[in-house]
Copies of this chain bind each other. A is one copy, B any other.
Amino acid sequence: MNIMRMEAFLRACATLLLLTTACLIRFNRQTSLIFPSYSRTATFRDLNALYVLVFIDIAAAGYNLIQLVLRGLLSSHLKPNMNGSYKHLAWVSFLFDQAVVYMIFAANSAGLTASLFAVTGEHHLFWMKLCNKFNRFCTQIGGALLCGYAAFFLMAMVSSLTGYGLFRHYSPKNYLVLK
């Protein structure tokens, strides 16, 4: 039970961090003068990578909540022996956890890459830097990405725990045979 409680705790923390990231990015806007006679409002819609990140973070948070509820219900009803539906649930959890961790990491990295272009520009490719015009906006995005990476580390630990919980039920001698 010890390991299941730790997993639930990590999952709950990761959910909060994911929602924080999504809100920080979603409600971030700043209006600023770019050229002397032209002002513009920066929102998360300007970079597709941030738009995708908000959706993936909300989806991952929803998935974590479903897992928390499902495991809370099952832990009171079922003994954790590896037969029938419990085995299937463990495999499905393992595969989904893996997929969700990779999605969060990829979405964060994509957001970071896109944001770095806005910070540094790329004068070879004639892409102007914009963060000197939108200081507060860019700082908030940076904070959101930090939260996102923290959520990724927690989810990576959760996925290792799910793997441990699944694979330790298998025999060390025979290939894919339950003990």
Q: Which residues of A contact B (CB under 8 A)?
A: 2-3, 46-49, 82, 98, 102, 105-107, 109-110, 112-114, 116-118, 122, 124-128, 130, 156, 160, 163-164, 166-172, 175, 179
Q: Tell me the minimal C-beta distance from A117 to chain B in angstroms.
A: 7
Give every chain B residue within 8 A of A112 (Cβ-Cβ): 110
Contacts A49-B113, A110-B109, A118-B125; A163 near B172 (Cβ below 8 A): no
Contacting residue for A128 out of B107, B117, B127, B164, CB 8 A: B127
Classify the secondary structure of A's interface with B. Answer: helix
Q: Is the CB of A172 within 8 A of B179?
A: yes
Q: Tell me the minimal C-beta distance from A43 to chain B in angstroms.
A: 10
Contacting residue for A175 out of B3, B102, B160, B167, CB 8 A: B3
Q: Is the CB of B179 within 8 A of A124?
A: no
Beyond known contacts A110-B110, A168-B171: 5 more, CB 8 A cutoff: A47-B122, A49-B113, A105-B106, A117-B117, A168-B172
